[in-house]
Amino acid sequence: MVTSDVWIKAAINTVEKGPIDAVWRLGGQDTTARGDQVVWGHFYASPSDVTWGSENNPDLFVKMWFDVSGRVDVNFFHVSVPEIEVYSDLPNDVMYDQKGTTIMDNRYIRHEYWR
């Protein structure tokens, strides 16, 4: 998924099928009075992959903050399922620069970039 020059991806590790690619749903985007940009949305399991998958059942929330200083924060917030792999890339060269694993005991991962 490409949004504002950032490439993000999530893979949900399921009991039924092992890892499956999560589906991205853009929630919205806006600009602050100062000029910072924010993009948010969520990943979910596809109903074609697992019976519990649904666009209305978020598994991982994402907020990307594009600060006027040039810092870019990609924030992943784990919602459900035992384990979700997260990936991000800036600039988008389809080679993920950062990755991590969100689990029930560690629900938050932040990737930081400078541009």
pLDDT of residue 86: 97
pLDDT of residue 92: 74
3-state secondary structure 19-60: EEECEEEEEEEEECCCCCEEEEEEEECCCCCCCCCCCCCCCE
Kindly state the average pLDDT of the residues 55-71.
96
Kindly state the average pLDDT of the residues 62-79.
96
Average pLDDT, the chain: 92
What residues are paired with 37 via a beta bridge? 31, 66
Residue 16: pLDDT band (50, 70, 90) is confident
Q: Distance between CA atoms of 81 and 19, rounded to whole angstroms? A: 12
